Amino acid sequence: MNMHTTIKYRGRHRAASTSRTRRHLAVAGVSAAALAGLGAPAAMADESQPQIPSEAEIQQMVHDGALDAHDAALLRSGEVPEQYRDQFEQGVTDLTNAVAPGALQQRADEKAAAEQAAAEAAAAQAAQDAFSNTTDTPCPASAKACVDLDGQRTWLQSDGKAYYGPVAISSGRPGPDTETPRGSFVVTYKVKDEISHEFNDAPMPNSVYFTWSGHAFHADDTNVPSAGCIHLAYGDSEEFFDQLQPGDEVFIY
């Protein structure tokens, strides 16, 4: 009995199966679409999909919610019998700290910082207002230049009304030989490009002398005390040099 075995040869170049080809095309299409989606800009994302908040945003939502619940509960603490009220309020605070650690302290710190900033701003404004106020001072209306040694400021005026300044100054260091004298003086003379022979020819631009002892307005560092003169910022010294003339009254108090 002869047995015949039939061997089916599948060559390398046989025709591709139609169903397998379709499957390959489908896989390729899905892969291409996925890659395209990964590289697509945010604007092309499916807007219908909810955006997942970041960890920081979630933490903030927890903090905000805990603080809101804390405040709402404390608003109703008056409804709790008085003998249990302290325990109730402490329990609310403890629960808030457990749910959102640090939230209450952070809010308290932010409030304190805001209050301190507001107080500092108010103090700075009050100081500025006091510095700018030239009414009710000892300086007489007859004076052309007024100098407030305690306030470390000076201004020019006409008929008692300030028209330039007040501007910052520095005056003489404490001591009998260096303090700026107080009282009423008269401009004696002016030197545009003055130097100090007493202090190694140090420059004293825009010097306006008001005593015969060497006291003058002149440009110099207003953060450094002088040996008796009135230091002005350079721009201010130019104005004083232009405005003050020999014979003008200078009042220092």
d(CA 169, CA 225) in angstroms, rounded, equals 9
d(CA 185, CA 230) in angstroms, rounded, equals 13
Instruction: Please list, in sequence order, all residues whose beta carbon lies within 8 angstroms of the beta carbon of residue 36, skipping any fewer than 6 positions away.
Output: none
Report the DSSP beta bridge partners of residue 183: 252
d(CA 124, CA 130) in angstroms, rounded, equals 10
> Is residue 231 among the annotated active site residues?
no
Q: Which of 63, 70, 215, 218 is catalytic?
A: 218
Burial 202-237 (b: 16+ CB within 10 A, else e): eebbbbbbbbeeebbbbbbebeebbbbbbbbeeebb
> Is residue 218 among the annotated active site residues?
yes
Where would I find the H helices in 150-249?
234-243
Amino acid sitting at position 237: S
Instruction: Please list, in sequence order, all residues whose beta carbon lies within 8 angstroms of the beta carbon of residue 170, skipping any fewer than 6 positions away.
Output: 152, 220, 221, 222, 223, 224, 225, 226, 230, 231
CA dihedral sign, ordered 163, 168, 170, 176: positive
Amino acid sitting at position 110: E
Bridge-based pairing of strands 161-170 and 153-158 is antiparallel
Q: Which of 70, 139, 229, 231 is catalytic?
A: 229
Residue 6, φ and ψ in degrees, nearest 5: -95, 120
Q: Give the residue numbers marked as catalytic.
A: 218, 229
